[in-house]
Amino acid sequence: MLKHNQKFLSFNLNVVEEGLTLEIFPEQQSRLRSIEKTIAEEFNESPYQLFEGHTYEYEFQGNNKELYRLESKIKGIVITSNRHQYRGRLSPNIYVGKLQLQIVNTQTSKDFPLSLEVIATKFNKKEDKSYRENYRKMLEDITDKCTDLMMQVNTPVTQTIAIDYSADSRTIYQRFCFVKSFLDTTEFEEAILRIISNPSTLWKTKETSIKSSQIKRVDRSVTKQLISATNRIDCSDLKYLTEVGLNNIPSRIQSTTKVRSVDTTENRFIKHVLGVFLNFVEDCQSVFLVNNGFDFAHKEEFID
């Protein structure tokens, strides 16, 4: 999707509109870089990288560039030019990690995702060591220590924890991100498609009443009903029946058939889990809607 130049990043946006590009330039002493896609995948990063505390200029190029603008969920990251909405400044500030931006068509209101990586620089002079080792190790340590404070197993007391959707929305957003992190995966989508196309099934026996003339297969149960069932009709004019001693037969008999059913324990469990996910997201949505500081979180529910 992108090409890299020593002085700027040039994004080929033909998937958005034919001939449209986005260029990002570093300001003054600021820097940017791109890395090999294989290396980016190894470290779970975007190949196209900016640096924390640095600032950049951006501009769309193309015949219809006036229709497009760049947006961020967090105010202050993207500063659109007052004169031309197709250009402006990027300022990641102290935010570090994957930066999700949107390319918005102001005419159709359609938006397209754009992912960049903001690299931490303050932990080590070597950029990769600063971000991939020191910064991420710090996040892991914070997570481990904070979890341990609440959930210590070597104390004489235990803690009972319940979800409170009236509490701090930042905590709710963290839970929402955790659930969203695996609901948005290809593996989850493929698993759901496989369940839909090939669900757990079992065969159930179903008993129905049919006309005697509709009998296709004679077994012991059918034979018994032909001899002893009530509500009989005369068939003395049918030689093939009188030859076996049947001058009359019942007008209807009870027949059993095999019916395929998806009402299994496995499918009911999957339905329950998906219902829990749905209820959780709807509860998050209700909180995000009334919290003006989390408008971006409400929009995030509908991405992809």
Mean pLDDT of the chain: 78
What one-character-per-residue DSSP string does the chain give? -EEE-SS-EEEE-TTTSTT-EEEEEE-TT---EE--HHHHHHTT--SEEEETT--EEEEEESTTGGGEEEEESSTTSEEE-SS-TTEEEE--TT--EEEEEEEEETTT--EEEEEEEEE--SS-SSHHIIIIIIIHHHHHHHHHHHHHHHH-SSSS--------TTS-HHHHHHHHHHHHHHHTSHHHHHHHHHHHHS---EEEEEEEEEEGGG-----HHHHHHHHH-SSEEE-TT-HHHHTTT-SEEESEEEEEEEEEE---HHHHHHHHHHHHHHHHHHHHHHHHHH-GGGHHHHHHTT--
Q: pLDDT exceeding 90 applies to what percent of the chain? A: 19
* Residue 80 confidence (pLDDT): 93
* Residue 159 confidence (pLDDT): 46
pLDDT tens for residues 171-223? Answer: 676 677 777 777 777 888 888 899 888 888 888 877 777 787 677 777 777 77
pLDDT of 114 > 60? The answer is: yes
Name the pLDDT band for 1 (thresholds 50, 70, 90): very low
* Residue 303 confidence (pLDDT): 44
What CATH number corresponds to the domain at position 72?
2.60.40
Name the pLDDT band for 5 (thresholds 50, 70, 90): very low
> Comparing C-alpha atoms, which of 12, 3, 69, 72 is closest to residue 37?
3
pLDDT of 158 > 50? The answer is: no
Out of 7-16, 93-102, 112-121, 126-135, which region has the weakest mean confidence (pLDDT)?
A: 126-135
* Residue 21 confidence (pLDDT): 93
Domain assignment present for residue 70? The answer is: yes
Mean pLDDT within 43-56? 87
Domain assignment present for residue 269? The answer is: no
In three state form, how does the secondary structure of 224-285 look? HHHHHCCCEEECCCCHHHHCCCCCEEECEEEEEEEEEECCCHHHHHHHHHHHHHHHHHHHHH
Which among 70, 87, 119 is the end of a domain?
119
Instruction: Specify whether 113 is located in the same domain as 6.
Output: yes
pLDDT of 104 > 60? The answer is: yes
Q: State the CB neighbour count (10 A cutoff) for residue 103.
A: 20
Domain assignment present for residue 197? The answer is: no
Which among 65, 91, 119 is the end of a domain?
119
Name the pLDDT band for 292 (thresholds 50, 70, 90): low
pLDDT of 61 > 90? The answer is: yes
Domain assignment present for residue 228? The answer is: yes
Quote the domain boundaries for residue 207. Answer: 202-261
Which among 90, 119, 148 is the end of a domain?
119
pLDDT tens for residues 217-265? Answer: 777 777 777 777 777 877 777 777 677 777 777 778 777 777 888 888 8
The total domain count for the chain is: 2
* Residue 147 confidence (pLDDT): 59
Domain assignment present for residue 300? The answer is: no
Domain assignment present for residue 277? The answer is: no
pLDDT tens for residues 11-48? Answer: 899 989 999 999 999 998 888 888 888 888 887 788 88
Q: Residues 243, 246, 247, 250: is their CA dihedral positive or negative?
A: negative
Domain assignment present for residue 166? The answer is: no
* Residue 166 confidence (pLDDT): 58
